[in-house]
Amino acid sequence: MKTRIQCMMMGVAIFICLDLFVLRVHAQEEPTMLYSCLVRRAKEVSSQSIFELPPIDVWKKQLPEKRRKWLEMLGLDPLPPRTDLKVKITGIVDRGSYVIEKLHFQPIPGCRIACNLYRPKEINGKLPAVIYVCGHAGRGKFHYQLHPRWFGEHGYVSMVLDAIQIGENGGFHHGTYRNQWWHWYSQGYSPAGVEVWAAMRAADYLQSRPEVDPERLGITGNSGGGTVSWFTGAADPRFKVVVPSCQTGNMVQHVRDRTIDGHCDCTYWVNTYGWDFPDLASLIAPRPLMVCAATEDVLFRPYAFRDLVHRARQLYIAYGCEDKIELVEAVTPHGYSPKTRIALFNWFEKHLKGSDRRVLDDLADNPEKDEDLAVYKTMKPPAGDRLKDVDKFFIPLPDPPEVKSKAQWQKHQKASLKKLRELTFRQIPKTINVPAYTCRREGRGGSHEYRTYEFESEPGMLIRARLAIPMDGPRPYPLLIGAMRPDVRSPFCARGAGNEGTNPKAGGFACVEVRGTGGGSIGPGIEWTARRAYPIVGQSFYERKTLDLLSAIQVLRHETNIGDIVVFGRGAEAAIAIYAALLDPGISEIVLQDPVTTHWDSGPEFLNALKTGDLPHNLALAFPRPITFVGKMPRAYAWTKKCYETCGAGDNIRTVKQLQN
C-alpha cells in the first residue's frame, strides 16, 4: 500500500508533468517560429499601448506631436493642399420632411467622392452635422442609406460618403490583400489615408454650408466605416463626437487570431511607430467617444475591444470626464443591432445636439431605389477620374537626389541614413549585440570545411548560419555572406545564398537561413499573412530578414580567423544585402548578382523605404565602400555608378563575369 507521502509526491509529479505539458503546448501554439515571433511582437505593441499615463498637463503638451505622428502614418504629414473641392450637385430628391442632395466633390484634384447629403426640408437656425462613412458593403451609400437618412429626419445634416472602390467611387483598396502590391508598404501607403482625407475635406464642405453649425461635427460608420471613424476622429479635432461601430480590436487579436486575413488594406495604417488602437482613442479624448460592438463578430473579438476601451477609459478618467466614453455591445454577429443603433442615436442627441430627449425610434424600413440616389447616371465615375490611380501619387515621394559634389552627397548621405533608421529600421537596434549561440563542426569536403552556428535573432526566432571555411589561403580570411533564397531546396554545405562559387584562396562563404527559408521555411498561406501582419506591428518581412543577416554577421565577426565581411545578395535578397551594409558600416563590400532594381512592382518591402529613395539611390548611400556586380550591372544601377563617379570613387563600382573573380 502506498504511503500518503508517496501519493502526495506522485500527485506533485503529475501536476508538474501537466504543467510542463501546458507550457509546451503553449510554446508550440503557433504553426511556425516566425509566426510565434509575430504574435510576441503584437503582444508587445498591444500591451504597451497607453499603459502608463503621465500627468494630464504633460499629456496635453505631447498631443501635437502625437497627432503629427498619426497623420504621418496615414500619409498626411504634411496635409495635402486644400484645393477647390469642385462640389457638383447632380440632383435633389424631395421627400417632404427631408431632402436628399446628390453630389460629388474632389478632395484631391481629379479624384471624385460620390455622396448623398440628407437634411431637414425646413431649417431654423444652425444644425449639427454628421459624416457617415460607408463600410465595404458593395453598394456603399445605397446599402447604408437609412442611417444618414435617420439623421436627416431628426434635425441633423448628414453626408454619407462612398469608400474607395465602393458604390460609385473608383480606386482600389485590396492592394496587398488581393494583388500582392507589397510596394504599398515601401511607399508608406494605406488607402486609409485617402479615406481620412476625404472625410476631412467633407468636413470642410459642411462647415461652409449656411445651415451647418461648424462647431458641431460628428462622424460615425460601421465596419470599414468604423475604421475611418476611428482614424478621422484621431486625425481631426473638429469632430466633436466619434462613434465607430464593429471595427474595434487590437493588434494582438488581428495577428494571433489571424483576423487580418479577413481585412482589406484600409483597415490599417503603416505602423511606423508601433501604435495600437488605444493610441487612437487617446487622440480623441476628451471628446465623446462611443464604441459599438458585437460579441459574435468574427473580425473583432470581445477581449480586444473591451481591453481597448478599458485602456482609453483611464485617460478619460484623468481628464475628469469618464462619462464621455462608453462601450455598447450586443450578442450579435458583425454589424449593427437595434441596441447599438439606439445607443448611437442617443449619444449624438446628447453630445452633439445637446438634447436630453430620449430617442426610441429606430431606422425606417422603406429604402430608396439605388437609381434614385445615384450621383451619376451610369452609377460610375467619369472615365478620367484619378481616384483609380490614387495609390500611385497620394504619398509624395522624393525625386532621385541630386549629386553635385562629394561634400554635398555626404551631407545627403548622413541625412538619408538617419531617415532610414527612423522610418524603416526603427525595430532594428543601432548596436546588435552578439547573441548567445552554439556551433558544431560539419566535416570537410574538397577545398572547404564546414560549420553550423545556431542563435536567436530575436526571442524564439532560431536562425542558422552555415559557414564554409577555406582550408588554404590567408588567415584571417575574408567572408562572403548572404541570405538564403526561399526557392532554394537546401543549405547543405553552406549553399543556398548563391555565393558558393567563391575561390577558396580568396576566402570563405556563408549562407544564413533567414526567416522564411531553410529550417524556418513557411508555406504561402502563412507567408501571405505574415507579410501583411508585420507592418501593423511596425516591421516588415524583409526588414526582419535583414535583422537575421545582421545578427549572423555579428556572430561570425567575432570568430577566430574571419577578417573582412562582404555581403552578397541575389535577386530579391540583394535588397537585404544592401540594407544590411547601410546599417552595419563595418561591412567592407557589397556584391550583387541579378539584383532586384526597385521597391515598386511588388519588390521586397521595407516600411517607408521609398520615402528615402529607391534601391539604386539607397545603394549609393554605401559610398565610398566598394560595390561589385556579378554578370552585369542592371541599367537602373547606372545611377549609382554615376553618383560614385561624381564623388570621385567611380573605380569602387565594378562588374565581374563570375563570382570567383
Domain boundaries, the chain: 56-393, 406-656
Q: Specify which residues 179 forms β-bridges with.
A: none
Strands 127-133 vs 239-245: parallel, antiparallel or unpaired: unpaired
Residues 6+ apart with CB under 8 A from 206: 129, 131, 157, 159, 212, 214, 217
Judge whether 56-393 and 406-656 match in fold.
Answer: yes
Q: Which residues of the chain have pLDDT under 70?
A: 1-31, 502-505, 660-661
Averaged pLDDT score across all residues of the chain: 93
What is 406-656's CATH number?
Answer: 3.40.50.1820
Q: Specify which residues 108 forms β-bridges with.
A: 111
Rounded to whole angstroms, the Cα distance separating 141 from 164 reads 12
The whole-number pLDDT of residue 22 equals 33
CA distances from 236 to 49, 64, 232 (A): 21, 11, 6
In a 13 Å sphere around the CA of 357, the CA atoms on its Cβ side amount to: 12
In a 13 Å sphere around the CA of 19, the CA atoms on its Cβ side amount to: 6
3-class DSSP assignment, residue 98 = strand
Q: Specify which residues 456 forms β-bridges with.
A: 462
In one-letter notation, the amino acid at residue 309 is V
CATH for the 56-393 domain, from 3.40.50.1820, 3.90.230.10, 3.50.50.60, 3.40.50.1010: 3.40.50.1820
Rounded to whole angstroms, the Cα distance separating 96 from 119 reads 11
The whole-number pLDDT of residue 501 equals 74
The whole-number pLDDT of residue 504 equals 61
CA distances from 479 to 146, 507, 541, 553, 623 (A): 68, 6, 25, 10, 20
Cell readout for 567 is: 555581403
Q: Which helix (DSSP H) or strand (DSSP E) does residue 437 occupy? A: strand 437-445
Burial of 537 (0-12, 13-18, 19+ CB in 10 A): buried
Do residues 121 and 94 touch, judged by C-beta distance below 8 A? yes
For the CA atoms of 623, 626, 631, 632, the dihedral, rounded to the nearest 10 degrees, stands at 30
Each residue's pLDDT tens digit, 536-564: 999 999 999 999 999 999 999 988 999 99
CA distances from 234 to 155, 204, 213, 227, 303 (A): 26, 16, 21, 11, 22
The whole-number pLDDT of residue 446 equals 86
Burial of 19 (0-12, 13-18, 19+ CB in 10 A): exposed
Each residue's pLDDT tens digit, 579-637: 999 999 999 999 999 999 999 987 899 999 999 999 999 999 999 999 999 999 999 99
The whole-number pLDDT of residue 112 equals 98
The whole-number pLDDT of residue 79 equals 98
